[in-house]
Chains A and B, each alone.
Chain A
Amino acid sequence: MTDLCAKIHLAQGGFTLDVEIAAPAGGITVLFGPSGAGKSSLLAALAGLKRPDAGRISLGTRVLDDRDTHLPPHRRGIGLVFQDARLFPHLSVRGNIAYGHRRAPPRTRPALEDVAAFFDIAGQLDRPVANLSGGEKSRVALARAVASAPDFLLLDEPFAALDGARRRAFVRVLLDMHKRFALPMLVVTHDMDDAAALGSHLIGLKDGRVAASGDFAATAATPAFRAVLDRHDHGSAVAAAQLWPSPQTGGIRNVWLRADHVLLAAEAPRAISARNVMAGTVAGIEAEEDGSLMVTLATDAGPILSRITQAALRELELVYGKTAWALVKAHAV
């Protein structure tokens, strides 16, 4: 298995990256953190663009970096999709994809036609890349990386240039691509919706340190990870399969339920769409700085967080172990 493991110490200007991470070969690891957390530095070190001051990076049994070793980027077998597609302007769409394909090991690389067909660009192979749209550029960059058959693929905020529906569509492309080409992936993002939709594993990065890491839903529920998030992003990951079937959630892994979007009821609500309601027991009540309360409800779909006021708590008479119902608005998903 080609798990990507790294212990990195990297000082740069006034900033120090000091992390130990593991991204398993199976599944998609999400590297989440606010800007300035060190996500880009970490990616650069993994890709071999920056050499750590100390530490060790390994891919499966291969050592990429340690005290005596520093494999250059082109010999690591690691692919990187940049935020700004970085297509080669002197080559056509086909030329760009073939660039990666030609240099890939023939035994493991996918057929060029399959890649083009998968990314739906078979009809545009002969176009110059200069006049592609933002979304098309992103897809060509992905196709180029996939065609080069890396042992591990890193993606640096690949949706940064996309918005709304195209962004959600792109998340699904990444999930399908992960399955279709059996590519181990590490995705950097600072958007919790994208993170939850993709991630099977989660690494929370803050100020150059790992705040929390491990299985996605479990890690996302920890107070340590919550400290990485913006207050309005506090919430919990619920497996999409546990929620009401909706075309909006089709195919994605988890849905991020923000605590501010979850209502609590002390009695089973009746005149309400039943699928929006999940019963659980109160497993935690924490006071927040501004006086509001974060209630954790243990449900069959895992822990669900809801932020309520002191007055609401008194009215609902919520205490540990009491049964309550979480209500989620469909548009919150």
Chain B
Amino acid sequence: MITGAEWEILSTSFAVATRAILWSLPFAVAVAWALSRPRLPGKLLFDGLAHLPLILPPVLVGFLLLLLLGRGGVFGGWLDALGIRLAFTRGGAALATAVMAFPLFVRSVRLAFEATDRRLFEAAALLRAGPWDRFVSIALPLAGPGILAGTVTAFAAALGEFGAVITFAANIPGQTQTLPLAIYAVLQQPGGEAEAMRLAVLSILLALAGLALAGLLQRWAARRHAG
């Protein structure tokens, strides 16, 4: 049913999206937590920065990444010295995907934190729990299902990244060629429509599965807060 080349595309997509999401998870949680605090200094600036990739053209994000992290880029020398190559690699594809998925990721995790009853933090503080303790023992477990739902949503979105990935990591089969990049590639060839259609159906099925899973997790989260 699914050809070897298609399996390769699928596995590249999953590998890139998984890496992207796992890398950005701690950052997304930290930024979402900070933004969910009512008295955060410089909140507007933070909020703006976190949402930047949503507003910039994806190609521009890819280009900025090249300027910063490409071999000749601002930090290219440092990365080279550490033996890290990002541009035109799978790691680079994951990074570009992570940056693009970040606003959505932060937004959904932040909603999970904001749904938590703030008065429980007061109760915890009066049981001698300090700020970090309260975050770990109250905020995280209560927001857990919501964070998971946000992670799945961000993962589903990460599977669809195109502009930033193709600009920063190119379209290398087996390396950086994810589903949308593969669809683009076959459409470039004469007579590639049939193959593009097969890939499109795969894409849609994956997206639907992701949304369904996120929906289930969201229901679980709601039940948890109702307790």
Contact = CB atoms under 8 A, between A and B. Distances in A.
Contacts of A100: 127-128
B1 interface: no
B209 interface: no
Interface stretch (B51-59, B69-77, B136-144): B136-144
A237 interface: no
Contacts of B137: 99
Contacts of B141: 90
Interface in A141-155: 144-145, 148
Contacts of B117: 86
Interface residues of A, number: 27
A103 B127 contact: yes
Nearest to A49: B122
A84 B123 CA distance: 10
Contacts of B226: 89, 130
B127 A89 contact: no
Contact of B129 (A47, A103, A145): A103
Contact of B225 (A80, A89, A104): A89
Given A82-B119, A99-B137, A89 B224 contact: yes
A64 interface: no
B128 A86 contact: no
Interface in B103-133: 117, 119-120, 122-130, 133
Interface size class on chain B is 20 to 34
Interface in A181-233: none
Q: Interface majority SS on B: helix, strand, loop or mixed? A: helix
A144 to B, nearest CB: 7
Interface in A62-85: 72-75, 77-80, 82, 84
B142 A144 contact: no
Contact of B123 (A48, A86, A129, A130): A86
Nearest to A86: B123
Contacts of A130: 226-227
Interface in B164-202: none
Contact of B120 (A73, A74, A86, A103): A86
A128 interface: yes
A88 B128 contact: no
Contacts of A47: 126
A20 B133 CA distance: 33
Contacts of B120: 86, 88-89
Contacts of A72: 125, 130
Interface of B: 117, 119-120, 122-130, 133, 137-138, 141-142, 224-227
27 contacts: A47-B126, A48-B125, A72-B125, A73-B122, A74-B125, A74-B126, A74-B127, A74-B128, A74-B130, A74-B133, A75-B128, A77-B128, A80-B123, A80-B126, A82-B123, A88-B120, A88-B123, A88-B124, A89-B120, A89-B142, A89-B224, A90-B141, A90-B142, A90-B224, A128-B227, A130-B227, A145-B127
